[in-house]
């Protein structure tokens, strides 16, 4: 789960991180009230995606009236597919220095990596490209976490030795998000050193592992309802489907992530554009096919659907029956091409033909067929 900035800050604050004074606002009036209490504020869109500043999602407000106007402009805005449900009004900081501190999973090393740089701020990715040495790195032992001397080494290597005391403390508390919240990525950028020498989080990002949700129910309950994503993705999640909305008009269902991604590639190669990615998993049971079709057909842009299923353990004839049943139950009228392969393939194709559904011989043919039918 990707937490919003104020949520990430709340979690990190509970570990002992210092954050600027801030208030969540759902209306312009609430934003004005926050500014009256705090003083000049930054009014920040709360969306679980980067790049909100460039999208106009952060505005500075000197007065409560300014804050109300800014909140009115930002709330309800759409940023990279997310409607902004609320803003976070945060007191301005007296910035002396901006530091980058973060960790993530390094897939290639199969380990967590902690990173620290004296050159924090918006351009950190460029810093990483051009002067990789400006970022110091640490792979902590996952059983015991980073040791104090390792953190000190990280801090000195980043050229931040004069802050070794406070930074060691911040690294330690940020790391707690791994064992205690199953975080996959956490980032404080910028980590601000203020004029009076305090170390304060200017921004914070936190992503937790959905696979570990079973041991963090409180996190899910407290935060997950606030984030409003794409309506079809929300609906699919309720039904336990792996679904991602895309921009095209051809609905795609496949079993297995690899096959499903491969199917998107084929649709594009055939000159079409997929409306979604929907992986129904290895089993491809009738009920799941029906759920997937239902979500896809909610999208009025969809002009036809391509189902690409390889029946391994699941037999192709069972899948065919499931598709026929689902189409009837949903009274689906749009073009439907089903490519079935694997065990009992011939029987599966016969069932489809008898019910007026065109079977494709292979993925590529099926992709061409659906693109043609939806032109």
Would you please indicate which residues are annotated as catalytic (active-site) residues?
Answer: 100, 187
User: Applying CB under 8 A, which part among 167-175, 181-189, 190-198, 318-326 lies near other proteins?
Assistant: 181-189
CB 263 within 8 A of CB 337: no
Which of 105, 227, 286, 332 binds other proteins (CB under 8 A)? It is 105
The smaller minimum CB distance to other proteins, of residues 5 and 90, is found at: 5
SS3 332: coil
Binding part of the chain for other proteins, among 18-26, 99-107, 296-304, 319-327 by CB under 8 A, reads 99-107
Listed as own residue / partner, the contacts of 72-77 with beta carbons closer than 8 Å and 24 or more positions apart are 72/28, 74/43, 74/45, 75/25, 75/26, 75/27, 75/28, 77/45
Residue 188: phi and psi, rounded to 5, are -120, 105
54 near other proteins (CB under 8 A): no
How far out from the chain centre does Cα 180 lie?
Answer: 20
CB 368 within 8 A of CB 330: no
Distance, in Å, from the CA atom of 129 to the CA atom of 126, rounded to the nearest integer, reads: 5
277 touching other proteins, by CB under 8 A: yes
Q: At its nearest, how many Å lie between other proteins and the CB of residue 29?
A: 29
Q: How far is the CB of 166 from other proteins (least distance, A)?
A: 21
> Where is 168: in which H helix or E strand?
helix 164-175
Residue 14: phi, psi to the nearest 5? -65, -20
Asked whether position 304 contacts other proteins by CB under 8 A, the answer is no
How near is the Cβ of 159 to other proteins at its closest, in Å? 17
Q: Does 218 bind other proteins (CB under 8 A)?
A: no
Nearer to other proteins, 161 or 179 (CB): 179
- Which one among 64, 102, 202, 359 touches other proteins, defined by CB under 8 A? 102
Structure tokens at 123: 């351009």
Options 14-22, 26-34, 290-298, 339-347: segment touching other proteins (CB under 8 A): 339-347
Q: Which of 136, 276, 341, 368 binds other proteins (CB under 8 A)?
A: 341
CA distances from 271 to 5, 71, 274, 367 (A): 40, 42, 10, 9
Cβ neighbours of residue 15 under 8 Å, at least 6 residues apart? 173, 174, 176, 177, 180
C-alpha triplet 12, 16, 17: angle, nearest 5°: 60
Q: Which of 12, 22, 354 lies closest to 176 in space, CA to CA?
A: 12
Binding of other proteins by 362 (CB under 8 A): yes
Helix (H, G, I), strand (E, B), or coil: what is residue 245? strand
Nearer to other proteins, 2 or 34 (CB): 2
Tokens standing for residue 285: 């049971």
Report in angstroms how near the CB of residue 195 gets to other proteins at its nearest.
26
Report, in Å, the least distance between residue 344 CB and other proteins.
10
| Phi (first) and psi of residue 129, to 5 degrees | -70, -50
CA distance linking residue 351 with residue 356, whole number of Å: 9
Binding marks (x or -) toward other proteins, 58..77, rule CB under 8 A?
Answer: --------------------
What is the Cα–Cα distance from 61 to 64, expressed in whole angstroms? Answer: 7
Residue 214 CA to its chain's centroid (Å): 19
CA distance readout (Å), 369 to 164, 250, 253, 270: 64, 11, 15, 9
Q: Which of 142, 178, 218, 177 is nearest to 12 (CA)?
A: 177
225 part of the interface to other proteins, by CB under 8 A: no
Binding mask 119-158 for other proteins (x = CB under 8 A): -----xx--xx-----x-----xxx---------------
Assess 86 for contact with other proteins (CB under 8 A): no
| Binding of other proteins by 271 (CB under 8 A) | no
- Interacting positions 232-261 with other proteins (CB under 8 A): 244, 246, 254-259, 261
User: Cβ 286 to other proteins, closest distance in Å?
Assistant: 18
Among 17, 31, 38, 112, binds other proteins (CB under 8 A): 112
Interacting residues toward other proteins by CB under 8 A = 2, 48-50, 80-81, 100, 102-108, 110-113, 115, 124-125, 128-129, 135, 141-143, 178-179, 182, 184-185, 187, 189, 205, 207, 209, 211-212, 214-215, 244, 246, 254-259, 261-262, 264-269, 274, 277, 282, 310, 312-313, 341-343, 362-364
């Amino acid at each position: 789960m990707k937490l919003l900035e104020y949520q990430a800050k709340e979690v990190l604050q509970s570990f002992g991180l210092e954050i600027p004074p801030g208030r969540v606002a759902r209306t312009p009036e609430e934003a004005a009230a926050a500014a009256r209490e705090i003083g000049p504020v930054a009014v920040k869109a709360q969306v679980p995606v980067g790049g909100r500043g460039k999208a106009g999602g952060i505005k500075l407000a000197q007065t409560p009236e300014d804050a109300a106007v800014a909140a009115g402009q930002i709330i309800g805005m759409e940023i990279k597919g997310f409607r902004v449900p609320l803003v976070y009004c945060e007191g301005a900081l007296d910035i002396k220095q901006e530091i980058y501190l973060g960790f993530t999973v390094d897939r290639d090393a199969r380990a967590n990596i902690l990173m620290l740089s004296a050159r924090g701020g918006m351009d950190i990715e460029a810093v990483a490209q051009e002067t990789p040495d400006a970022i110091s790195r640490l792979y902590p032992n996952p059983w015991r976490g980073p040791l104090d001397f390792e953190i000190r080494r990280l801090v000195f290597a980043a050229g931040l030795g004069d802050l070794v005391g406070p930074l060691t403390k911040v690294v330690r508390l940020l790391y707690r998000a791994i064992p205690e919240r199953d975080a996959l990525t956490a980032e404080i950028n910028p980590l601000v050193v203020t004029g009076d020498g305090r170390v304060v989080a200017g921004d914070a990002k936190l992503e937790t592992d959905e696979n570990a949700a079973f041991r963090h129910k409180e996190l899910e309950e407290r935060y997950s309802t606030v984030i409003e994503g794409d309506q079809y993705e929300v609906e699919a999640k309720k039904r336990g489907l792996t679904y991602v909305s895309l921009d095209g008009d051809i609905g795609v269902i496949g079993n297995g992530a690899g096959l499903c991604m491969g199917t998107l590639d084929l649709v594009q190669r055939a000159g079409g554009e997929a409306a979604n990615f929907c992986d129904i998993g290895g089993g491809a049971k009738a009920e799941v096919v029906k759920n997937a079709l239902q979500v896809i057909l909610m999208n009025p842009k969809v002009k036809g659907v391509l189902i690409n299923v390889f029946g391994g353990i699941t037999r192709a004839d069972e899948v065919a029956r499931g598709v026929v049943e689902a189409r009837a139950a949903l009274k689906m009228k749009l073009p439907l091409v089903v490519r079935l392969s694997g065990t009992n393939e011939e029987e599966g194709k016969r069932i489809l033909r008898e019910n007026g559904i065109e079977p494709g011989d292979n993925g590529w043919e099926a992709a061409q067929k659906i693109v043609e039918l939806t032109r």
